[in-house]
């Protein structure tokens, strides 16, 4: 599954952005979806994840209440709506996908739980 992330940009604190993750030509509905981010000098960190059906989601504490993960399986696309952005949200954002394995729920916040990755999209939030 090749993933194409888009929607990043430069915004001021308090603004909103919506990231998209397109998985063309694949059965997107059979895969779990996740978003991670990586700031300069930091490790890639978990942001949000969603099950195949969309019925199970989880967010990092730092974004809970501000970010919303969603998916449109008919369009083979996942989304990350980011509201009330803060300078500390500045990072390259990556979408990821993979089969919903039996142990996915236990490891879903780890990068190793996902087989496919997008190229990343830069989000910069100025103060």
Mean pLDDT over 4-12 rounds to: 97
> How far is residue 127's CA from residue 118's CA, in Å, rounded to a whole number?
28
CB 2 within 8 A of CB 24: yes
DSSP-based three-state secondary structure for 115: coil
**DSSP β-ladder status, 31-38 and 57-59:** unpaired
Q: Cα–Cα distances in Å, from 100 out to 21, 66, 72, 117? A: 18, 26, 17, 15
Q: What is the pLDDT of residues 76-88, one digit of tens each?
A: 999 999 999 999 9
**Confidence class of residue 117 from pLDDT cuts 50, 70 and 90?**
very high
Q: What is the pLDDT of residues 24-82, one digit of tens each?
A: 876 888 999 999 999 999 999 999 999 999 999 999 999 999 999 999 999 999 999 99
């Amino acid at each position: 599954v090749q993933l194409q992330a888009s929607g990043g940009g430069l915004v001021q604190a308090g603004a909103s952005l919506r990231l998209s993750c397109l998985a063309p030509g694949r059965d997107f509905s059979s895969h779990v979806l996740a978003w991670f981010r990586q700031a300069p000098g930091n490790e890639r960190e978990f942001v949000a994840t969603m099950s195949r059906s969309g019925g199970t989601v989880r967010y990092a504490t730092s974004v809970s209440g501000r970010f919303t993960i969603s998916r449109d399986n008919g369009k083979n696309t996942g989304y990350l709506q980011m509201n009330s952005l803060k300078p500390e949200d500045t990072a390259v954002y990556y979408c990821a996908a993979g089969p919903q394995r039996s142990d996915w729920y236990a490891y879903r916040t780890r990068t190793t739980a996902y087989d496919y990755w997008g190229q990343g999209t830069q989000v910069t939030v100025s103060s």
